[in-house]
Amino acid sequence: MTVGIVHHDLFAEHLAGYTHPESPGRYEAIMRRLRRSAAAPRLSFIEAEPAGEELLALVHDPAYVRGILSLEIEEAVVLDWGDTVATKASPRAANLAAGAGVQAARLVLDGTIRSAFCCVRPPGHHAERDRAMGFCIFNNIAVAAAYLVEKENLPRVAVVDWDVHHGNGTERMFLEDDRVLYVSLHQYPHYPGTGDAGTVGSGRGEGFTINLPMGAGAGDRAYLLAFRDRVVPAIDEFKPAFILVSAGFDGHAEDPLSGTLLTTSAYGRMTALLRELAGRHCGGRIVSMLEGGYDLVALADSAEEHVKALLD
């Protein structure tokens, strides 16, 4: 079976600002690379569909969802003190970005594709229940996770987040939920400031949040050791019915927004480990969603490495 690449032209229309690092060029660089890749004949390119109010409201405040979706923007609207800006296409792009994960999850569940990478903008993992934050408007990965447990009734879904920034929004949404295991590897301390190792979930969710802070300067060795010692055993114990990945590539050594030193090949190796876990526990079912990654060459290299590792 092929690997799905879920995409949409509108992901290149959302403008976060003319000099903003979260640029349309990111989407274009990855898509151009994937279409020309030696792996392209084994990829299924699938156009994203919108999530819609009901699914967005699984993790977001309904009034926030309606507020974003009904925005009529002439120039630009600042959603989060300059960091997160919406322009004309942004509400529709954000709706499609969240919908992409749900659509990929459905296609994986019905056996159309084995796994998928959703090449989306805006990213999602910083978005909170009722506010945009850190370049994110809707929490794409959280909508997909909530869809799987609420609508598909899967008992357990693992979310692995290797974006260099901590996914504060995703963590918060599932902090008290034992059906969603949230595992994050991130530079710490760093934006957004959350993600210390002592935050492990609460109530029924205690033990189902795992934060693995990485120092500035951490590279492949530190990440792969964390995978071997923490991520793999935790997922083996959890036995997920589905694995979701917040695939940010901004931990790359070339990335301007981080101090970590991952190489391109690390993204392939981490993907391969998750693919093995998915093979053991859930029939290979993995859906990843683009989060950050701001050096366009390193981003395209890393995303291609990730997709190839999903295929092998």
Query: Which residue ranges make up the site for Zn ion (CB under 5 A)?
Result: 163, 165, 248, 250, 292
The smaller minimum CB distance to Zn ion, of residues 132 and 154, is found at: 132
Minimal distance in Å, beta carbon 302 to Zn ion?
Answer: 13
Angstrom CA distances, 211 to 4, 193, 271, 281, stand at: 29, 12, 18, 22
Half-sphere exposure of 55 (CA within 13 A, CB side): 28
The smaller minimum CB distance to Zn ion, of residues 114 and 125, is found at: 125
Minimal distance in Å, beta carbon 139 to Zn ion?
Answer: 13
Q: Which residues, in sequence order, are bridge partners of residue 194?
A: none
Query: Among 8, 126, 252, 306, which one carries the catalytic annotation?
Result: 126
The smaller minimum CB distance to Zn ion, of residues 45 and 191, is found at: 191
The smaller minimum CB distance to Zn ion, of residues 7 and 26, is found at: 26
- Cβ–Cβ contacts within 10 Å for residue 249, how many? 30
Q: How far apart are CA 231 and CA 244, in angstroms?
A: 13
Q: How large is the angle between the packed helices 24-36 and 296-311, nearest 10 degrees?
A: 40
Contact by Cβ (8 Å): 123, 253: no
Minimal distance in Å, beta carbon 207 to Zn ion?
Answer: 25
Active site residue 252: no
Minimal distance in Å, beta carbon 120 to Zn ion?
Answer: 14
Name the token pair of 240: 């997920």
- What are the residue numbers of the active site? 126
